[in-house]
Structure 1
Amino acid sequence: MSENSKPSRRQFISDTSRFVAGVGLSGILSTPFTSTAKPSVSANDKVLVGLIGCRSMGFGDLENALRIPGVECVGLCDVDATILDKRAEDVKALQGKAPKKFPDFRKLLELRDLDAVIIGTPDHWHCLPFVYACQAGKDVYVEKPLANSIAECEVMVRAARRYNRVVQVGQQQRSGDHWKKALDFIKSGNIGKLRKINVWGNFNYGIGQKKVPDSAVPEGVDFDMWLGPAPQRSFNAARFHGSWRMFWDYGGGLLTDWGVHLLDMALWATDTTTLPISVSAAGGNWAFPDYDHETFDTMSVIYQMKDHVITWEHTAGTENGPYGRRYGIAYVGDFATLVIDRSGWEVFPESADGAYKVPAIPPQPGRDYHREHMQNFIECIRSRKDPDCTIENGRLVALYAHMGNIALRSGTQLKWNEANGNFGDNKAANGYIRPDYRKPWTFPTV
């Protein structure tokens, strides 16, 4: 075949899409496309994206993508028709062209020319769309935590690597300059031997919403689809928009929300790629009885590492914290303690014999890095390089967070067996590794 007679990337995908449309989504999943069946996105091609889960963080991620030249949104998916219609209008205002709308993410994945999807659903809906997207040859930006269970995280890693997809997990500190500078400062030995990393996050929203009785499903909401693989139950507004993450079927509370962001930075300080030696936890639900939540409002977790300790603390319903910060990380070394959050970092030197052990460092400014994180994802779609927060990074810190919750829920100290993928003979803890999917949904296999 001559160079001039070779099909263009768009023509190739167009032909492929007609085949996909003919066999339906079940055909995609039973005989998935691999990355070799889809040409890479060139520097001159538009990157065409879709969004699954349009209400909050997902749409913020999409807005950041649409600020990047050469990115276009071709489809939106949400189970709430009101939100779906509103976001379609928002996208049209941003790019001058309306996206297609879908109540079912599987139909979105059949869109012609779709390069990547953003998954901004509740946590219990991360795994299935992610695996299906990888099988369909789409790259994925998935919000944190990677998934709502350990087993789901594991199958998502396998899917990403088997189908050779570019995956960015929404832990945007990995793309942040002030985080990198602070961690380089620590890694260079400037605070001495790192002995303890204290992580905390105190937020009012962690207690959920006030208790209300079950009620009718709001008009335009496909609640059965919203539940998806989670157990069947009646609709309750306190378990829905804005507070679903405070219920175990859908999320893991503050530890899998803010904890994932901050514990990721605790692990990055020592370039940790393994799970802790042991995990212990204490706490409970002791406050705000008029507010509806299952996840813990009061919690302390200890991660035993080889040569240091990592701790997590939260008291939901309060917003005071160490060093005057409602959330943050304190890296405690022999010479100094470095404290950081999204607003910046500072160093508190230790003193001896009337003098500081290391020079004092004035507060260094910081900010959020959502835009840079999305920019990195789009660049990696083109280059096929690993992005700033790989799926392995996302899996590791999600497991740290899930293990903290499992330790308290099971009332046991956890020791992970990496070879067997469980907690050894700890039956109570092992029961939390994999969720039971509600029919007709089935746990994905890769």
Structure 2
Amino acid sequence: MPLPPASRREFLAAAAAVGVAATAPSSASAARDKSDLRIAVIGARGRGKSHIDGFRDQLVAVCDVDQDVLDGTVARFKEKRGRTLDKHVDYRELLDRDDIDAVSIATPNHTHSLIGIAAVQAGKDVYVEKPVSNNVWEGRQLVAAARKNRRIVQAGTQSRSSKCLQEAVAFVQGGGLGKIQYALGTCYKPRPAIGKLDAPLSIPSTIDYDLWCGPADKVDLYRPKLHYDWHWDYNTGAGDMGNQGIHQMDIARWFLGENGMAPRTFSVGARLGYEDGGDTANTQMVVHEYESAPLIFETRGLPRSKEGQKQWGRSMDEFRGSRIGVIVQCEGGHVVAPASYRDVYAYDRSGKLVKHFKGSGDHFGNFLSAVSAGDASRLNADIAEGHVSSALCHAGNVSHRIGERASAGEIASSLAHNELLSYSFDRMATHLRANDVDIDRDALVLGEWIEVDPASETLVNSEAGQQYWKREGRDGFKVPSVEAV
């Protein structure tokens, strides 16, 4: 059943915020044929494999701090494609090359902005994975660097190239279902414990750990794996809100038509159900109070119940047809956009299907077309859009990280005035109790309502949150401050 929008304070500097994610200017690059482009991929594991395949015809070099990963990647490419790629361990050496036109960055999140800024300053066009930053401030520096150096920079939010989503957004924003009441993103994705070591993890000699850490704190790790599980450490990742959830956060903001950050953000959640080497929330509810309508995002890494933990992934929650996806509630019905990005479904108030939008897209191809034309305005996911959606993830985590432990009763009382948030929290509480998590003690973290000036993207009401809004960084790997143009 549709619920009324949350109560909201007046939106701050709305007109100025629209300019935050303004359309990118044309690049300084001259038009070139796609076959003439020379691209390098930085980060060859995980998502990097998709980058290598997506840019296979233009690929000339690959870079990774893990020598074993690097050697294996080049060997497999040679076997499959019949060509030998150049190898680099240090991205800085790669960027010194004059024969590289563009780079795609699929390293861990904490190095995205650092490498992206260095790349555009070296005259390269850039495709950078999501989230594009580790914190709000550094993401804005990447946008500023792209504009100042007139480079083409695409964010890896591939849903922006989805035909069905483009059509569904146009339908909703055109009034097809009436006024939007709220947008809800869900990430109900199985995340078992990652384990915990009694002694520090031994980093293999084949990995340049100093380079891997980059601007992040170089610390001992007490988890069994270096790779991938960095997602669950706030020093290097953003939890599933920044891993999977940024896609749904981005889609929800797209439907709302909001171009900047929300003036108020709030979180409830924690890492619950087990103890391991991670510190990011595996269960979380975040709300961004926009003027148009609230944007809510829910993360659940535990199964539907304690019994479901016997078969992780086969027993996950679902809400109104969405497990990993977006629900947009309007006065005249609602839309469900699953994470496949191939289908979007629109229903009227009675639940009857009224529109079925179909068709995906080629995000890598969109980047190649823009670079080939030398025209950043052709991008479907310009870096400014990727930055704002990344910043929403970071803002939610800032609220969480400066919050305090509270009982379920205390949290419920604090949300009693807001029907929409109360409903979301009630479903979270039911989910956790089904997993035998005692939330009647101080298990959950009641986040602080943080206030943001959308025009300047500054945190205006929390001294404690400043340390997470911007990171100083380590010597040799500090993200530079870039003057906006």
Q: TM-score range by the shorter chain?
A: 0.7 to 0.9
1:162-202 deviation digits (Å, cap 9, x = unpaired): 00001110000000011112222212322221101111101
Kept in 2: contact 1:279–1:413 (CA 8 A): yes
Residue in structure 2 matching 1:161, options 143, 147, 151? 147
Distance in 1 of aligned mates of 2:36 and 2:289: 47
Deviations 1:262-318 (A, max 9, x none): 1111111132112212111111122222x3311101111111111311111111133
Checking the alignment, whether the CA contact within 8 Å between 1:77 and 1:102 is kept in structure 2 is yes
CA contact (8 A) 1:208 1:246 kept: no
Letter in 2 for 1:389: A
Deviations 1:195-240 (A, max 9, x none): 01111101113x5512234232124111122112211212445451
Matched residue SS, 1:312: strand
Q: Contact between 2:167 and 2:357, CA under 8 Å: does it hold in 1?
A: no
Q: Deviations along 1:325-362, whole A, 9 cap, x unmatched?
A: 321111111111111113422233214xxxx7xx6326
Q: Aligned match of 2:400 in 384, 408, 421?
A: 408
Residue aligning to 2:332: 335
Q: Residue 43 of structure 2 corresponds to which residue in structure 1? A: 53
Q: SS of the counterpart of 1:106?
A: helix
Identical counterparts, % of pairs: 26
Of the candidates 278, 282, 304, which is equivalent to residue 297 of structure 1? 282
Where 1:269 maps in the other structure, the secondary structure is helix
Aligned residues: 395
Q: How does 1:39-188 map to 2 (within 5 A)?
A: 40-43=30-33, 46-66=36-56, 71-188=57-174
Aligned residues of 2:165 and 2:357 also touching (Cα < 8 A): no
**CA shift for structure 1 position 241:** 1.0
Q: Which runs of 5+ in 1 are unaligned?
A: 1-34
1:438 aligns with 2:423: no
Give the partner amino acid of 1:315: R
- Within a 5 Å distance, the mapping from 1:280-319 to structure 2 comes to 280-289=266-275, 291-318=276-303, 319=316
How far 1:415 sits from its partner (Å)? 1.2
Residue 390 (structure 2) pairs with residue 398 (structure 1): yes
1:261 aligns with 2:247: yes
CA RMSD of aligned residues (A): 2.0
2:371 alignment partner, one of 354, 371, 381: 381
Gaps of 5+ in 2: 1-26, 304-315, 404-447
Task: State the TM-score, normalized to the length of structure 2.
Answer: 0.77
Deviation at 1:43, TM superposition (A): 2.1
CA contact (8 A) 1:73 1:91 kept: no
1:361: which partner in 2? 354
Q: Which structure would you say has the larger RCO, counting Cα contacts within 8 Å and 6 or more residues apart?
A: 2
Equivalent residue number for residue 425 of structure 2: none
Partner amino acid, structure 2, of 1:113: D
SS in 2 for 1:54: coil
Which of 231, 234, 248 pairs up with 2:220? Answer: 234
Q: 1:268 aligns to what SS in structure 2?
A: helix
Question: What CA distance in whole angstroms lies between the structure 2 residues aligned with 1:384 and 1:104?
Answer: 27
| Paired residues of 2:223 and 2:277 also in contact (CA < 8 A) | no
Note the alpha carbon deviations across 1:128-166, whole angstroms, 9 max, x for none: 211111111000000000111111101101110000001
Shift of 1:440: 3.1
SS at match of 1:62: helix
Task: Provide the rounded CA distance (Å) in 2 between the counterparts of 1:224 and 1:382.
Answer: 35
Q: Which moved more, 1:152-161 or 1:268-277?
A: 268-277
Q: Of 170, 182, 197, which aligns to 1:212?
A: 197
Distance 1:443 1:340, change over 3 A: closer
TM-score when normalising by structure 1: 0.84
Q: CA deviation at 1:103?
A: 0.9
